[in-house]
Amino acid sequence: MPKINVYLPDELAEAVKQAGVPVSAVCQRALEQAVRRVTAIRETVLADLDLEEPTGALTHLTGRARTVLKLAAEQARAEGAASVGTEHLLGGMLSEGANLALRVLAVMDIQPEQVKRDLAQRHQAAAGTETPQSFSGPAANALEFAVTEATSLGHNYVGCEHLLLGLVAEPDGTAGQVLRALGADPRLTRRAVTAALAGYVHLRAQTQQGGPAAQGGDQLAALATVVKNELQSIAQRLERLERHAGLDG
């Protein structure tokens, strides 16, 4: 039977040992589920995909995330591409224009126009005549990573922020290459998403408690301030944990 090495953070590895978790069985089960989800996404026929009432692996997509997929499919179709790639998913996110993923990037000083320019430089659309039938391998993996990121954050939905994490984590697609080159590495992006979600909770709580309700650009500026504060706090806590675990050297 083939052997696959699985690397765990020290604290998790110690907790697994203390709990006596059957690592092999758990990993096999998790990998089986992941393979089924990725296969389902890869085998999805776009012509049969109902984004208004998604099924299977796409069931928990938010409305904005479904819009991004629709725009991605339309872009791929306009290019005559054989499949929907990560570049189309990122393009759909940019075209949607109002999702949390773009606000997270802005807080990280990565502007949508810069992403669009770099994406255009790396992705030269061929003048094809095909109609995309499915997601490419990297795009399917990015969607699977998005589901995994949502699950790890304890969310029962998959939004554009999770899709951003999926694109950043996927190693081979054009979208991930563009985003990472602009500074959106997986760990920093995950921190920023966590901070942004905490920022929304903070702003909503302020509004419910009778504080001033920010609108439009004011809301974005307020969110950016909260996110940067939250991000700095999270970074400081992680740095302390890393020093404690001896990972800072």
Residues in CB range of 198: below 8 A, 6 or more apart = 226, 227, 230
pLDDT classification of 121: cutoffs 50, 70, 90: confident
Residue 12 phi, psi (nearest 5): -70, -40
pLDDT classification of 87: cutoffs 50, 70, 90: very high
Distance CA 147, CA 155 (A): 9
How much is the pTM? 0.69
**Domains of the chain by range and CATH?**
10-184 (1.10.1780.10), 187-249 (no CATH)
The angle at the Cα of 160, spanning 184 to 137, to the nearest 5 degrees, equals 75
Q: Which of 41-45, 62-66, 173-177, 216-220 has the highest mean pLDDT?
A: 173-177
Residues 35-61 pLDDT 10s: 776 666 666 656 556 666 666 656 678
Q: How many CB atoms lie within 10 A of CB 9?
A: 11
Give me the percent of the chain exceeding a pLDDT of 70.
Answer: 66
Which pLDDT score, from 0 to 100, does residue 195 have? 79
Which pLDDT score, from 0 to 100, does residue 53 have? 65
Which pLDDT score, from 0 to 100, does residue 217 have? 44
Which pLDDT score, from 0 to 100, does residue 213 have? 46
Residues in CB range of 146: below 8 A, 6 or more apart = 158, 162, 163, 165, 166, 167
Which pLDDT score, from 0 to 100, does residue 100 have? 87
Mean pLDDT score across all residues of the chain: 76
What's the rounded mean pLDDT across residues 108-113?
87
What's the rounded mean pLDDT across residues 82-96?
92
